[in-house]
Amino acid sequence: MNQAKKSPYRVLIADDVLETRRNTRLMLADNPMVDIVAIAHNGREAVELAKKHQPDIALLDINMPEMNGFEAFQEMYKIFPTMACVIISAEDDNQSFRTAMNVGAREYLVKPFTVYQLNNAVKRVGDIVKSEREKADVANRLKEQRASFLLQLAAEYSKTRRTDDEAVEIFEQLAANPKCEVRWLRTLAMLYIIRQDWMRLQVLAGRLARQFG
């Protein structure tokens, strides 16, 4: 059985030195698992290009004008929390390394680096990105399944006019979602009235007033 072809990692390169940008691109040119989607001259441009091209991996030099590599990655991460970063630096010092790790960088490469070092760093980071996204996909599917199950139970309990503790728990779980449909909030309010749970009713009434008042 043929395995499905893996999609290449979308890579953004950012460095204010032309030669470094060119060499980094050439080093990755023969890597079938890399698709270079953007090249930036400074940190601010890197952030703007990341918004446009949504890379999986950003290769960022530390010392760039307008915005350094650390600041640029922090801005990118706010928008794309599954994106990973490889910090590139001419500085081989512990302080820069610690700062890179503190902002969430996955790899730290010191210039000059070899083709082997660069491609291996990209592979390691790419594997992390893939693993984390697979975990996120599983979590999202489970969340969607749970939400669907809650809605089915809510519809059934509403139809049969259940007012027991289990019914209250189901509607309260639905109400925990800020985007809960107003009909379920009203059903929950009616349950509180029937059960004379005035304290919870007061809290729910305040929420309804703020949300729909």
Q: Is the peptide bond before 178 cis (omega within 30 degrees of 0)?
A: no
| pLDDT digits 0-9 by tens, 60-100 | 999 998 899 999 999 999 998 888 999 998 887 888 889 98
Tell me the pLDDT tens digit for each residue of 181-202: 889 999 999 999 999 999 999 9
Give the pTM: 0.65
**d(C-alpha 23, C-alpha 173), whole Å:** 54
User: What residue type is assigned to position 19 of the chain?
Assistant: E
* Burial label, 195 (beta-carbon count in 10 A; 0-12, 13-18, 19+): middle
